Amino acid sequence: MTARILVAGIGNIFLGDDGFGSEVVRNAEIPRDDPGVRVVDYGIRGMHLAYDLLDGWDTLVLVDALPSRGSPGTLHVFQADHEAPAETPAVDAHGMDPAAVFASLRALGGSPPYTVVVGCEAGSVEEGIGLTEPVANAVARAARAVEDIVEALQTPASSVSGFAAAPEEC
């Protein structure tokens, strides 16, 4: 039996680099006719993602902008920690905070699937459409990482642990 994989691009395209996830899923070359893989640009529709996660996905590949640690454009690939936060984040039907999505999912009676995050350190999340140069330069590499992760997850007895290496400069 093949794994069911949901690839979710998230972020607000009207806030500069926050639109990174949306841009990556548009560029990822993942077959859209594979019934075991679904690729969706959720934008800021966090509740939509929470409801879709109730459909029993084995893996979620979450593509998002990350707070900058001083190196905009740096890619990070890691397994999400689904431990419940000390404080439950507020639910915002028009927001996309992954912690709030997972809290909403739990409130709906579901539980988060194995989750791999492909994130890029943002340069600017000020109002405006378009990615900064370092983040735009990371899109193709992130799309390839998503493609590789999906391919590895579809291979029997595979693991994406090799993808959780050190951050990569773009």
Over residues 26-61, the pLDDT tens digits come to 999 998 888 899 999 999 998 999 999 999 999 999
pLDDT at 64 over 80: yes
Q: Are the CB atoms for 7 and 38 separated by under 8 Å?
A: yes
For residue 32, what pLDDT is reported? 81
All domains in the chain, ordered by first residue: 5-154 (3.40.50.1450)
Instruction: Report the predicted TM-score, pTM, of the whole model to 2 decimal places.
Output: 0.86
Q: Give the separation between CA 144 and CA 82, rounded to whole angstroms.
A: 25
For residue 160, what pLDDT is reported? 52
For residue 166, what pLDDT is reported? 42
For residue 92, what pLDDT is reported? 47
For residue 165, what pLDDT is reported? 43
For residue 156, what pLDDT is reported? 72
Within 10 angstroms of residue 140's Cβ, the number of other Cβ atoms is: 13
- Among the ranges given (6-15, 66-75, 85-94), the one the predictor scored with the smallest mean pLDDT: 85-94
Over residues 134-163, the pLDDT tens digits come to 999 999 999 999 999 999 998 876 555 555
What is the radius of gyration, based on Cα positions, of the chain?
Answer: 15
